Amino acid sequence: MPSPSHQHVDVAIVGGGVIGLSIAWELAQRNLCVSVLDQGPMGKAASWAGAGILPPPPGARADHPLDALARRSRELHPMWARRLIELTGIDNGYHVCGGLYLAQTPGEMASLIANRANWKDEGLQVQEWSKEQIIAKEPHLVSAVEAGRVKKAFWMAEEAQLRNPHHLQALEAACQCSNVQLRPHAPVTHLERSGRQWSLRTDQDHLSADKVCLAAGAWTALLTKSVGFEPAVVPVRGQMRLYRTDSSILSSILNEGPRYLVPRKDGLILAGSTEEDAGFNNFTTSEGLQSLQAFSEKWLPSLTPERCIRSWAGLRPGTVDGFPYMGPVPEREGLFVAAGHFRNGLYLSTGSAELMADLITNQIPRIQVTPFQIQRGLHLDPES
């Protein structure tokens, strides 16, 4: 007989970020008994820290599996938003707002022109915009445009966003409605195969499961050491600033290189982001925040430091080749990984959840998984 503090589930998911919670909800809808364990509160790490940008889906001619995953994810997002609000009453803020892509420097112009060629090859809708078109759409950019800061501009009508903190709340509530056991503040400290099951130890109790999915974001490689393999997932810090404005001074997402301004419907504007190698240190720095401040004021002069109501940093789960790790771990029956979504975890979460649920339930996934396999760049320790 298991002790009262020892439970058995079909699938245990380690990590309650957007990836872990999305997989859990998808599996619960397939009638599996699922538990999600997080070392902190649910959904408060990278998934909370992000901006929620959902880039346009790659065009039909883009045939790499990552393109297929992105297309499927964008197809699922509006459906998930509808189902989440029906089930939980929480609006995750999904809406198509369009994205402006601006170049100020010759380097940015060159890369934007190269991107446009790729986007067109893929069959993606992209328009070159004149200064007049920019001002007509976004009147508050007038001073930046007249100061000659825009050397090239493209408009992507299909760019969308979701309000990620609300999305995470909705996912958590949807999991609860679907009988997923949520275990916040339960750091998984040890993982081992015992017989035909996996045993997971936390600092309070332990749990056994037929299958385990590791969705621990930037921390995934720390966790897998105990079972003898280390996927090359590394933390990449990103800093953010949040401004409150009295009125809506921006309606579409403004992108310049890796920087962006994301307007929320209630007048809040997010400015992001940096890309830094700072280990597991998720503090902001004065240098990072100053660079975001300069970026924000350059485009919208009313985003003064006094308008900034909050700043934070998050750790993106990066991988060496830019592809997430998704699939079964070789030679570790019943163990799966879903981590390493870097700058696109919110975007790719819906398609990733469907793909992982297919793999975990032995269905044939609609997307080819080879580029996401754990085997690439993996060190397997035969002793474990």
Ligand X SMILES: Cc1cc2nc3c(=O)[nH]c(=O)nc-3n(C[C@H](O)[C@H](O)[C@H](O)COP(=O)(O)OP(=O)(O)OC[C@H]3O[C@@H](n4cnc5c(N)ncnc54)[C@H](O)[C@@H]3O)c2cc1C
Taking the complex as a whole, the smallest distance from the CB of residue 300 to ligand X amounts, in Å, to 19
Please tell me whether residue 51 binds ligand X under the rule CB under 6 A. yes
Q: Binders of ligand X among 29-48, rule CB under 6 A?
A: 37-40, 45-47
Identify the residue among 160, 347, 355, 360 touching ligand X (CB under 6 A): 347
Distances (CA, A) of 27 to 214, 293, 358: 14, 42, 9
Please tell me whether residue 15 binds ligand X under the rule CB under 6 A. yes
CB nearer ligand X, residue 145 or residue 216: 216
User: Taking contact as CB under 6 A, which single stretch among the options 4-12, 24-32, 312-320, 365-373 is the one that binds ligand X?
Assistant: 312-320
User: Taking contact as CB under 6 A, which single stretch among the options 58-66, 74-82, 214-222, 325-333 is the one that binds ligand X?
Assistant: 214-222
229-230 and 308-319 strand pairing: unpaired
Q: Binders of ligand X among 355-374, rule CB under 6 A?
A: none
Between 235 and 254, how does the x/- string for binding to ligand X read (CB under 6 A)? Answer: ---x-x--------------
Identify the residue among 9, 24, 68, 223 touching ligand X (CB under 6 A): 223
Between 168 and 187, how does the x/- string for binding to ligand X read (CB under 6 A)? Answer: -------------------x
Identify the residue among 97, 209, 216, 271 touching ligand X (CB under 6 A): 216
Taking the complex as a whole, the smallest distance from the CB of residue 150 to ligand X amounts, in Å, to 22
Please name the residues in contact with 192: beta carbons below 8 A apart, sequence gap of 6 or more.
198, 199, 226, 227
Please tell me whether residue 71 binds ligand X under the rule CB under 6 A. no
Taking the complex as a whole, the smallest distance from the CB of residue 161 to ligand X amounts, in Å, to 8
Radius of gyration from C-alpha coordinates of the chain: 21
Identify the residue among 229, 316, 353, 356 touching ligand X (CB under 6 A): 316
| Cα–Cα distance measured from residue 336 to residue 77, given in angstroms and rounded to the nearest whole number | 24
Taking the complex as a whole, the smallest distance from the CB of residue 97 to ligand X amounts, in Å, to 12
CB nearer ligand X, residue 49 or residue 112: 49
CB nearer ligand X, residue 120 or residue 185: 185
User: Taking contact as CB under 6 A, which single stretch among the options 17-25, 108-116, 143-151, 292-300 is the one that binds ligand X?
Assistant: 17-25
Please tell me whether residue 343 binds ligand X under the rule CB under 6 A. yes
Identify the residue among 27, 32, 34, 53 touching ligand X (CB under 6 A): 53
User: Taking contact as CB under 6 A, which single stretch among the options 65-73, 94-102, 114-122, 213-221 is the one that binds ligand X?
Assistant: 213-221
Please tell me whether residue 327 binds ligand X under the rule CB under 6 A. no
Between 107 and 146, how does the x/- string for binding to ligand X read (CB under 6 A)? Answer: ----------------------------------------
Angle ∠(73,346,236) on CA atoms, nearest 5: 130
Q: 3-state secondary structure string, 365-378?
A: CCCCCHHHCCCCCC
CB nearer ligand X, residue 140 or residue 341: 341
Under the rule (CB under 6 A), what is the footprint of ligand X? 14-20, 37-40, 45-47, 49-53, 187-188, 215-219, 223, 238, 240, 272-273, 314, 316-317, 339, 341-347
